[in-house]
Homo-oligomer: A and B are copies of this chain.
Amino acid sequence: MFIEIEPDSAVPIYLQLAQQIMEGIARGELAPETPLPSVRAFAADLGMNMHTVNKAYHYLEEKKMIEIVPKKGVFIHANAIRSASTEEKARMEEELRPILAEALCLQLNREELAGMVEKMVREIREGSE
């Protein structure tokens, strides 16, 4: 699992970490039940604070992407790869909204939008940055 954190990004580093773990899951690199490093080990590895890793973990737990078992460890959720619920779809749609508004101003048509989606899906699947 290769994690690349950009300290100067506008995206908080706990979110960068959570998103890259989610990409690992999407890619199949992190299969359900796979253990993740302890908050201390991961923090030391990434050069960040234990509590920051903890925050990323809880963000992913909230999304039911990982399971935190107190005193045991952290694991990719047994059901991490699943069908989206109505709520999950609605959340993703709302996140899509501002990006699409900009895309419409910038005159991207149906095909170009589909092309961008395909490109990014490919990049996520390949693990490229």
Contact = CB atoms under 8 A, between A and B. Distances in A.
Contacts of A123: 97
A123 B121 CA distance: 24
Interface residues of A, number: 43
The listed residue with most B CB atoms (<10 A of its CB), out of A26, A100, A108, is: A100
B101 A84 contact: no
A76 to B, nearest CB: 10
Nearest to A81: B105
A80 interface: yes
A62 to B, nearest CB: 12
B26 A105 contact: yes
Contact of A83 (B25, B81, B107, B118): B107
A112 to B, nearest CB: 8
A41 interface: no
B82 A92 contact: no
A92 B103 contact: yes
Contacts of A82: 105-107
B101 A23 contact: yes
